[in-house]
Amino acid sequence: MNDLAGKHIVLGLTGGIACYKAAELCRALIKEGATVQVIMTEAAAQFITPVTMQALSNRPVYGSQWDAREPNNMAHINLSREADAILIAPCSADFMAKLLHGRADDLLSLTCLARPIDKVPLLIAPAMNREMWAHPATQRNLAQLRADGTTVFDVGTGDQACGETGDGRMLEAEELLEDVIAFFQPKVLRGQHVLVTAGPTYEAIDPVRGITNLSSGKMGFAIARAAREAGAEVTLVAGPVHLPTPRGVTRLNVVSAQNMLEATVERAQEATIFVATSAVADWRSANASDQKIKKDGSGTTPTLQFVENPDILATLAQSPRAVSGDLFCVGFAAESHDLLANATAKRARKGVPLLVGNIGPATFGQDDNALLLVDAHGARELPRNSKLALARQLVAEIATRKKI
Ligand code: CTP
């Protein structure tokens, strides 16, 4: 993906051991298509050298407001005018205090103050010892920075370089990258609560065996991420899959269709949008055994009987909140053939305003997909693309249909 293509980011480093993570972050931003101009404070240069950051960003690093390389000797103006965002990572407690007061006695704080505030957003990734983080002064500064329009990324929790454990670590480079990418996505679902089911379900036959399917959960996880990027609060009810939880998404792990139904119905109370991507097992064993079924050596095979699982999507689509329009339900259809006919029939059967068809065997486990959107007005294709790109398009389609 090139999620930051065309974006020019001023990456500011201030004094903190987390500067070592800024090197990774710089690479990650560039890999995603951004151009990066690094500015380092004097304190940052105690932790990592400008040589490293120049090599990674492929541009000379700026450090002084008196830098004579700029023909007009106004690095703070020139650098801030060309930026799409200024990202300070790590942002020390001292630097936060500086930003708060509008101080401008070094190039980085000067550039932040000189930036056109409506055009160049300021993003900070705080990094400090847990006591410094918890200090009322820092928390007060944080609140004021937010009120001034600064985007403050979370801090991580865990072991700190000082040997203490707690809140205040800078997020890892890949986490910050996800947050930066999300920052630039249009906030078409702001104020919405999106509930997503994803992955297969697992229906036990006995304690060691069960029935499941090849769904990887990738499409549902991509939709959860895209909805979060679009500003929604997101709950993801996930069957047994080994995928990382998208940042900022609340995840509930479930196993069987019955578990998934219970978790989903409960969470649907607050949801405004429900997207069912899960490949729910249609049947479960009617005679699941508490103990492992043993071979008795006679060659006799066990007889399995099945009962149908509840239909989670249909249940929610018939709920009073869905019928009144408060809960917008979106179904998926995993088909092996006749996509348009099957998806159209399924939309009617499930009673949902929007149904998204895809060819199951062609997409299960893959990173890309092609979708067919079927609604009351007809069908529209979203051509083959990465699942995340399709998820973002689908989120935009949902936002339009829900008239947010
Ligand atoms: N679904 C669900 N609960 C079920 C079965 C399906 O919520 N017990 C949802 C899926 O998450 C998907 C939609 O219903 O959004 C269609 O799922 P799919 O497996 O394509 O269809 P089925 O309803 O199982 O019908 P069939 O197997 O006959 O194609």
Kindly list the protein residues whose Cβ atom lies closer than 6 A to any atom of ligand 1: 197, 257, 276-280, 282, 309, 311-313, 331-334, 346, 350
pLDDT value of residue 366: 86
Structure confidence at residue 86 (pLDDT): 98
For residues 232 and 160, which has the higher predicted lDDT (pLDDT)?
232
Best of 219, 223, 278, 352 for a ligand 1 pocket test (most atoms within 8 Å of beta carbon): 278
User: Burial, 242: exposed, middle or buried (Cβ in 10 Å; 0-12, 13-18, 19+)?
Assistant: exposed
pLDDT of 404: 58
pLDDT of residue 75: 94
Question: In the prediction, which pLDDT does 171 show?
Answer: 97
Per-residue pLDDT, averaged over 46-58, amounts to 98
pLDDT at 81: 96
pLDDT at position 296 is 84
Ligand 1 centre and the CA of 314: distance in Å? Answer: 9
Whether the Cβ atoms of residue 257 and residue 203 lie closer than 8 Å to each other: yes
Marked catalytic residue, from 26, 91, 112, 162: 162
| Mean local confidence (pLDDT), 18-35 | 98
CA 377 to ligand 1 center in whole angstroms: 22
- Mean pLDDT (whole number) for 243-272: 97
Ligand 1 center from residue 333 Cα (angstroms)? 7
| Ligand 1 atom closest to Cα of residue 278 | 11
368 Cβ neighbours under 8 A, 6+ residues apart:
384, 385, 386, 387, 390
Res. 297 pLDDT band, cuts 50 70 90: confident
Tell me, what's the pLDDT at 365?
80
Least confident of 69-73, 183-187, 311-315, 396-400: 69-73
Distance CA 339, CA 353 (A): 17
Q: Give Cα separations from 221 to 8, 250, 266, 391 (angstroms).
A: 28, 11, 20, 9
pLDDT digits over 102-149, tens only? 999 999 999 999 999 999 999 999 999 999 999 999 999 999 999 999
Domain with CATH 3.40.50.10300 in the chain: 193-291+301-402
**Segment among 168-177, 235-244, 365-374 with least mean pLDDT:** 365-374
Pocket test for ligand 1, best of 201, 308, 342, 346 (most atoms within 8 A of CB): 346
Q: What is the pLDDT of residues 189-229, one digit of tens each?
A: 999 999 999 999 999 999 999 999 989 999 999 999 999 99
| Residue 399 confidence (pLDDT) above 80 | yes
Q: Which CATH class is domain 8-184?
A: alpha beta
State the pairing for strand pair 151-152/378-386: unpaired
Closest by Cα among 398, 333, 336, 315 to 372: 333
What is the pLDDT averaged over residues 325-332? Answer: 97
Q: Is 91 a catalytic residue?
A: no
User: pLDDT at residue 150 above 80?
Assistant: yes
Confidence of residue 360 (pLDDT cuts 50, 70, 90): confident
Predicted pLDDT at 362: 75
Atom index in ligand 1 nearest the CA of residue 315 equals 7
Report how far ligand 1's centroid is from the alpha carbon of 226 (Å): 22
Model pTM score: 0.94
Q: Write out the residue limits of the CATH 3.40.50.1950 domain(s) in the chain.
A: 8-184
Average pLDDT over residues 32-55: 98
- Mean pLDDT (the chain) is 96
**Ligand 1 centroid from CA 49, angstroms:** 56
Determine the 3-state secondary structure of 62 from DSSP. Answer: strand
Token representation of residue 249: 């998404």
Q: What is the CATH number of domain 193-291+301-402?
A: 3.40.50.10300
